[in-house]
Amino acid sequence: MKHKDGSADKYKDKHKEKKIKTLDGKVKKENGFASPPAVKSEPEDNFYHSPKNEKSLKRERDDDIDSDFKPKKVKIENDKKVKKRKPEEEVSPKKTKNKRAVADGKKKAKKEPEEKWKWWEEERYTDGSKWKFLEHKGPVFAPPYEPLPSQVKFFYDGKHMKLRPEAEEVATFFAKMLDHEYTSKDIFRKNFFKDWRKEMSAEEKTKLTDLKKCDFTEMSDYFKAQSEARKAMSKDAKLKIKEENERLLQLYGFCIMDNHRERIANFRIEPPGLFRGRGDHPKMGMLKRRIRPKDIIVNCSKDSKHPEPPPGTKWKEVRHDNKVTWLVSWTENIQGSIKYIMLNPSSRIKGEKDWQKYETARQLKKCVDRIRTQYREDWKSKEMRIRQRAVALYFIDKLALRAGNEKEEGETADTVGCCSLRVEHIKLYPENDGQEFVVEFDFLGKDSIRYYNKVPVEKRVRTGNQCFCFEDANFTSVLNKHLQELMDGLTAKVFRTYNASITLQQQLKQLTSAEENLPAKILSYNRANRAVAILCNHQRAPPKTFEKSMQNLQLRLTCIDTKRDQLSDAKRELKSSKADAKVRRDEKSKKTVETRKKAVERTEEQLMKLEVQATDREENKQIALGTSKLNYLDPRISVAWCKKWSIPVEKIYNKTQREKFAWAIDMAEDDFEF
């Protein structure tokens, strides 16, 4: 076990244990992170058996897709899809069509943004190339610095001081962050001041020696006023800005890849500013420098119209590498890493990869029992390495931990994953709360989000754990190599995908009941989603206005409640008038009876909806559903669920999400099994 000085204490008080209210109103003492027993449970009997029904329900078609979906060139075809396909597509062979389209593709693609191209019905490249044709307009650079108006002053040691634009710009970055807590942090200030000084003239450098004596308040107030002014702009002016943005988007926000016009994810270059890492980042406050054309590498196809650098400038390089997916790259100055401009998740190139990811996870489903048996076997191994490997794998599987690659010390915040856990992150209890062999995890993971969990483990793991000393340099790559041998394409993160998706499927099966109405079904969906988010430890800071908004909701709830009471009184009255109506056979009174009845129903429904909403929101206080929905849950599970229960898919996925998962929405039937 690696040792490291410093304890976890520094972040402990920041993340106090929370009491979580369950739906039935009970207040449960919880750490907020432990997986609910429904998700995964010991003893292992449950755990090591995939649900019985899975195999029997498995359909031939799914198997076809499974076996077809390899990084090979594959025609994803079956009778269903052929039927869907348009006749002319069936007639003309793909290749000819492609070639032709590449030649005249530009005009065609620009004019008619093609009625929903179904890339998932087409062949894929098998030669490792990502595209044959790529054309784009290059990146949009950050607007140049506009010096402050002369009345906005900067003071040093109480005296006005005019800064050269170079130094002034960096000062404005700081001024804009003045309200943030981190401008008071030592490291932030130290890093900022050091980098700021680099932008100063010799004279400025000698004068400005102490950050504490710098007064940025005028600058700060100026920017606040600016943003107020922007908010208060006339509708017309706002519309103009919107139109300009749209123009820019149309021009730079799309590329042509092969014969299709595809949306680019991030066509704007990151503007300069002060780096703010997450958590305790040693580089916080450093100056992120402005990116110029000569920093930019452009990637496009030879036979495309190359993007033009701004007048009087040159690109660093133009290359034609169709083995990669990026259009533009540059090297960032904080970590020295490479940044890329790539396509939107709705694009073919991202979608195919995403689909493939879920197919790999489904492959794992087929052999996970075998793998679990094996690593349990490996706990007994005489070789320490094998035992360690098996223990790490167990936690990656059981707790959906990230792999935990090593990182360069001092370059980033001190965070860990499974393979980089150190002694101070784990506590072992031979007995805890009446349970035998409990392991307590407490560490900061990705984005410095705390992972806290207490889990009972099997005896052998615990013994193995005593030599749970992952000293092996490159433990992750050792582990991944082993996984690769167990299954083609298997890596540590596949377990996260697999466990997330299978959990959603199980939970949906378990939580959805046919009698429930639509809002209740959606609550069930969200709860299934939530189980996954908890498993994956996807947290969020409780929204700043959470308490208030919760109160508002309660208020509305009581409002409607009283309204219901009133209405039920009215209903009673109605009953008598109903009888009356019958006798009189009066159309008018009959109608009032009907409308009143409807009003009661509507209110009931409203109440129900609000109640469900309140529950959902409360349960979601510090849990983020988005990340798992977007990155871990096979969308076909959700689509199938929607189809099965006749729920409009829009209730589950918003527009962007529907675009990203178009492939799944198109192909999954109500009986899809992950």
**Catalytic residue numbers?**
632
Residue 441 φ then ψ, to 5°: -105, 135
Q: Which residues touch 545 (CB under 8 Å, ≥6 apart)?
A: none
Nearest Cα neighbor of 118 from 346, 326, 357 is 346
In whole angstroms, the minimum distance from the beta carbon of 664 to DNA comes to: 14
Question: For the chain, what is the radius of gyration of the CA atoms?
Answer: 30
3-state SS assignment for residue 273: strand
Strand-pair category, 317-319 with 297-299: parallel
- Residue 263: exposure state from Cβ atoms within 10 A (0-12, 13-18, ≥19): middle
For DNA, which is the closer residue by CB, 574 or 652? 652
In whole angstroms, the minimum distance from the beta carbon of 270 to DNA comes to: 4
For DNA, which is the closer residue by CB, 213 or 548? 548
In whole angstroms, the minimum distance from the beta carbon of 325 to DNA comes to: 4
Angstrom distance (rounded) from CA 182 to CA 194: 16
Number of C-beta neighbours around residue 239 at 10 A:
11
In whole angstroms, the minimum distance from the beta carbon of 541 to DNA comes to: 4
Angstrom distance (rounded) from CA 153 to CA 137: 39
For DNA, which is the closer residue by CB, 512 or 537? 537
In whole angstroms, the minimum distance from the beta carbon of 517 to DNA comes to: 18
Angstrom distance (rounded) from CA 110 to CA 101: 12
Angstrom distance (rounded) from CA 291 to CA 286: 15
| Cβ atoms of 637 and 505 closer than 8 Å | yes
Measured N-to-C along each axis, helices 587-619 and 518-535 cross at an angle, to the nearest 10 degrees, of 0
For DNA, which is the closer residue by CB, 208 or 296? 296
Angstrom distance (rounded) from CA 6 to CA 17: 21
In whole angstroms, the minimum distance from the beta carbon of 278 to DNA comes to: 4
Q: How far apart are the first and last CA of the chain?
A: 37
In whole angstroms, the minimum distance from the beta carbon of 196 to DNA comes to: 17
Q: Residue count of the chain, please give it.
A: 674
For tokens 């029904």, the residue is 53
For DNA, which is the closer residue by CB, 120 or 156? 120
Angstrom distance (rounded) from CA 284 to CA 276: 5
For DNA, which is the closer residue by CB, 36 or 51? 36
Distances (CA, A) of 318 to 298, 303, 305: 5, 13, 12
For DNA, which is the closer residue by CB, 368 or 449? 449
In whole angstroms, the minimum distance from the beta carbon of 211 to DNA comes to: 22
For tokens 């639509």, the residue is 518
| Cβ atoms of 605 and 630 closer than 8 Å | no
For DNA, which is the closer residue by CB, 82 or 233? 233
